[in-house]
């Protein structure tokens, strides 16, 4: 591919750099807000009295 044709890729490269920068900023923001400080406690938020932690409540149908 000649050098002149690389200008056609410039919009894709710019979008890639933009999305990378936005993603890096979002991770920085989340880390500063403490979203990654206590991962064990946050992983247990989805459990309730109806579906307690450690009890099997969903199963796949058996194959016959």
pLDDT mean over 20-39: 93
What does the alpha-carbon distance between residue 36 and residue 21 come to, in Å, rounded to a whole number?
20
Assign 55 a pLDDT band (cuts: 50, 70, 90).
confident
pLDDT mean over 19-40: 93
Q: What pLDDT is stored for residue 33 in this prediction?
A: 93
Q: What pLDDT is stored for residue 64 in this prediction?
A: 65
Assign 30 a pLDDT band (cuts: 50, 70, 90).
very high
**pTM for this prediction:** 0.57
What does the alpha-carbon distance between residue 56 and residue 59 come to, in Å, rounded to a whole number?
8
First-to-last alpha carbon distance for the chain, in angstroms, is: 57
């Amino acid at each position: 591919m000649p050098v002149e044709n690389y200008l056609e890729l410039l919009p894709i490269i710019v979008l890639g750099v933009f999305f990378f920068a936005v993603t890096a900023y979002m991770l920085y923001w989340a880390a500063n807000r403490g979203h990654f400080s206590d991962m064990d406690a946050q992983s247990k938020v989805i459990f309730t009295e109806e579906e307690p932690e450690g009890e099997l409540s969903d199963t796949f149908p058996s194959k016959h």
